[in-house]
């Protein structure tokens, strides 16, 4: 009677590998965040149609409002462009913040974030990294507005330094305001709902502001709204920066709303993110 077949012993090298203690250190919060920021950029690379709104919308709005309304509102398109372009910078970047919540909700509905929650990473990294990656989208939008404005005749009195400082302010503002849309993304079920609710928030803020006309021509009740409108405060700061006459108080007021939104919505977003869906 033959002996039963016994499994061959594991090779010594394989056994040593399996028995070896884990020597690699877990990556930290910064590395995790940068990894997810890079993931956000790769998503744009592999789905370039995401940049359609980023590229087309700034050009369309800047050209359309300048040539349709410039002569009627300011007497000449050149003078109106000097007034309008800082506002268009703000509007374009603010509109782009919608995609922060839209892409987050899309990933959640596809189950991607369920896997992220099971990974041994810094818990906020997927969301913070995605928002950091979105700053590239904001910067591209702003540069497109500046480029088309220069072609049309806009000349910033503060030069390149003013443009760079304006883009930095826009990015800080957009990241802060973006926490509102991440919260919305974690509360609703579909990306289309995120988009709809986001527009309901942004449309009154952008059109009820000082982007297109001087608030002095508005009714008193609307002037009162514009005076505390975060978008209007941002536009005022950008106009001051590009004109080389920015006041610290203007910049501080522009950053007040994103700071408050971050304090309220960032913890709420992370609490919702940890919640079982």
Query: Do the domain assignments include residue 16?
Result: no
Considering only CA atoms, give the Rg of the chain.
24
Q: pLDDT tens-digit profile of 94-129? A: 998 988 898 889 888 888 877 887 788 888 888 999
Query: Do the domain assignments include residue 231?
Result: yes
Average pLDDT over residues 230-234: 97
> Are 139 and 221 spatial neighbours (Cβ–Cβ below 8 Å)?
no
Query: Do the domain assignments include residue 13?
Result: no
Query: Do the domain assignments include residue 1?
Result: no
Query: Do the domain assignments include residue 226?
Result: yes
Average pLDDT over residues 203-227: 94
Is the pLDDT at 23 greater than 90? The verdict is no
Question: Cα(220)–Cα(224) distance, rounded to whole angstroms?
Answer: 6
> Over the range 43-62, which residues count as b (16 or more CB within 10 Å of their CB) and which as e?
ebeeeeeeeebbeebbeebb
**Predicted pLDDT of residue 24:** 47
pLDDT band, residue 52 (cuts 50/70/90): confident
CA-based nearest residue to 89, from 254, 265, 257, 262? 254
Question: Cα(231)–Cα(130) distance, rounded to whole angstroms?
Answer: 23
Helices (H), 208-243: 220-228, 230-242
- What's the domain range around 120? 29-274
**Predicted pLDDT of residue 14:** 46
> Are 215 and 134 spatial neighbours (Cβ–Cβ below 8 Å)?
no
Is the pLDDT at 32 greater than 50? The verdict is yes
Biggest CA–CA distance in the chain, Å, is 108
Query: Do the domain assignments include residue 205?
Result: yes
pLDDT band, residue 241 (cuts 50/70/90): very high
Domain total for the chain? 1
Query: Do the domain assignments include residue 6?
Result: no
């Amino acid at each position: 009677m033959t002996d039963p077949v016994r499994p061959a012993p594991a090779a010594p090298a394989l056994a040593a590998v399996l028995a070896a203690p884990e020597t690699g250190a877990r990556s930290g919060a910064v590395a995790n965040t940068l990894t997810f920021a890079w993931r956000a950029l790769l998503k744009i690379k592999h789905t370039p149609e995401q940049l359609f709104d980023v590229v087309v919308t700034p050009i369309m709005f800047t050209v359309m409002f300048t040539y349709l309304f410039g002569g009627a509102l300011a007497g000449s398109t050149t003078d109106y462009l000097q007034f309008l372009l800082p506002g268009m910078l703000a509007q374009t970047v603010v509109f782009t913040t919608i995609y922060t919540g839209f892409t987050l909700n899309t990933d959640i509905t596809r189950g991607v974030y369920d896997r992220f929650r099971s990974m041994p990473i810094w818990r906020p990294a997927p969301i913070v990294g995605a928002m950091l990656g979105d700053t590239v989208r904001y910067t591209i939008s702003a540069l497109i507005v500046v480029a088309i404005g220069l072609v049309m005749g806009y000349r910033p009195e503060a030069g390149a330094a003013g443009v760079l400082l304006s883009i930095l302010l826009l990015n800080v503002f957009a990241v802060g305001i973006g926490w509102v849309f991440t919260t919305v993304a974690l509360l609703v079920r579909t990306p289309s709902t995120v988009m709809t609710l986001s527009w309901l928030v942004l449309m009154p803020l952008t059109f009820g502001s000082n982007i297109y006309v001087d608030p002095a021509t508005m009714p008193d009740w609307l002037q009162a709204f514009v005076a505390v409108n975060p978008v209007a405060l941002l536009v005022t700061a950008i106009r001051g920066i590009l004109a080389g006459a920015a006041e610290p108080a203007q910049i501080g007021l522009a950053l007040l709303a994103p700071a408050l939104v971050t304090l309220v919505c960032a913890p709420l977003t992370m609490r919702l993110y940890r919640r079982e869906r």
